[in-house]
Structure 1
C-alpha cells in the first residue's frame, strides 16, 4: 500500500490503465475509504455472463480493497451501482443484500447506456467510514 506525502493511502495499481489515467482504485484518507467503480472481472480476465455473478465479484473485490486499507464491509456507508439494463436491477440488488444487508448503507442503483467493455453489465462504487460498522 503506497503512502504518498499527501497522507493518502492507496492500494497498489492493478492495471497499467490506472497509471496511464492517473487514478486510484481504492484510497484511504483519515477514517474514510473510497473505492472507485469496480467491475466483475475475474483474476484470469474472464467475465461471468449473469449480472448478479458480476455484482458478486464486484463486492468481493470491494471487500478486498477495503480490507487492504484497514476497513471492513461493516464500515460501508454508501454504495452506487450502475447497470447497463434496468432488467439487471433485481439480480444486482440481491447481490448488494448478500454483501451488505448487515451494514445497511445508503444505496443508489441507476441504469446507464454502456460501460467500457460490452461484457460488463454492472459497475459498483463504495465508500466506508472506519469504525462505523457494527
Structure 2
C-alpha cells in the first residue's frame, strides 16, 4: 500500500511550533508524519521518499541535519528546496511517500 503525506508543517491546532528554529520545526514535522503513518497502518521505516521545503536557504543545514537524525537508518530518497511557504511562521514543510508491506 502506498501512502502520501503532504503539506506538513510544524502546526499544533492553530499554533506554530518551534519558533525560529528550523531543526525544531523539522523534528516536530517528522513526529507528526510518523503519527499519521501509524494511524494508516504504516511506520516511519516504510518511507521511501521525502521532500523538504525551506523558506530560507540558510536553514537547509539545520533541516537536513534533523532529517538525517530521524531517517539515518531508513535512507529514503530526499529532495530539499527553497520555497515560499504559506505562513511566515513556517520555516519548513515536508511531504513523504511510504510503501507499506513492500
**Is the Cα contact below 8 Å between 1:42 and 1:57 reproduced in 2?**
no
Paired residues for 1:42-53 under 5 Å:
42-43=12-13, 45-49=15-19, 50-53=21-24
Of the structure 1 ranges 59-68 and 41-50, higher mean CA displacement relative to structure 2 is found in: 41-50
Q: Are the counterparts in 1 of residues 50 and 79 from structure 2 also a CA contact under 8 Å?
A: yes
| Root mean square deviation of aligned Cα | 1.2
Q: Identify unmatched segments of 5+ residues in structure 2.
A: none
If the length of structure 1 is used for normalisation, what is the TM-score? 0.71
Partner of 1:103: 74
2:51 matched to 1:80? yes
Q: How many Å separate the matches in 2 of 1:46 and 1:78?
A: 25
Q: Deviations over 1:53-109 (max 9, x none)?
A: 001111000000011000111110000000011110111011111211111100000
- Greater CA radius of gyration, 1 or 2? 1
Q: Quick check: which one's strand share is greater?
A: 2
Q: Which has the higher contact order (CA 8 A, sep 6+)?
A: 2
